Amino acid sequence: MNTKQTGDETEAMVLAALVAMGYSVAVPFGDNDKYDLLLDTGARILRVQCKTGWIEGDVIRFKTASKTTVDGTDTVVDYDDTIDGFAVRCRETDELYWVPMEDAGKKSTYLRIAEPKIAHPSTKRESDYRLEKRL
């Protein structure tokens, strides 16, 4: 499966889960926006970027910046304040997560699967970010 197909599958799974949870979801026309979905929570509209994560050791990792090519030059683009959060699907487990922008790293974010040996306030436990818990 190529990366475009993987991304489309993640986006479809996130959209289906959000609709099943009772939310209204809109898909922007075209590929020109930094967000993939608009989620109406009833209180506000959230701009959602869908990402596919993978298990790497004892964490689920996903990228929070995109590499694009413009006029033959590679450019790393981050999301700054153009989205409200990331909806993440772990490709090995199909579990879905919601990571608000303020909890995301600059280039990648790591959600810890196992309990850390030393507790630290910056540790992001995957169980705390499960989609059904966070939204």
Alpha-carbon gap, residue 45 to 77, rounded angstroms: 23
Alpha-carbon gap, residue 18 to 64, rounded angstroms: 21
pLDDT of residue 116: 73
pLDDT of residue 73: 86
Alpha-carbon gap, residue 128 to 111, rounded angstroms: 9
Residue ranges per domain, the chain?
Answer: 3-134
pLDDT of residue 52: 97
In contact, 46 and 85? CB cutoff 8 Å: yes
Match 């033959």 to its residue by tokens: 72
Token couple for 122: 């910056």
pLDDT of residue 95: 97
Q: Which CATH number fits domain 3-134: 3.40.630.30, 3.40.1350.10, 3.60.70.12, 1.10.357.10?
A: 3.40.1350.10
Match 């090995």 to its residue by tokens: 92
pLDDT of residue 18: 98
pTM score over 0.75: yes
Across 73-102, b (16+ Cβ under 10 Å) vs e yields: eeeeeebeeebbbbbbbbbeeebbbbbebe
Q: Show pLDDT as tens, one digit a residue, over the chain (135 residues).
A: 788 899 999 999 999 999 999 999 999 998 888 899 999 999 999 999 999 999 999 999 999 988 777 788 888 888 888 999 999 999 999 999 999 999 999 999 999 998 777 777 678 999 999 999 998
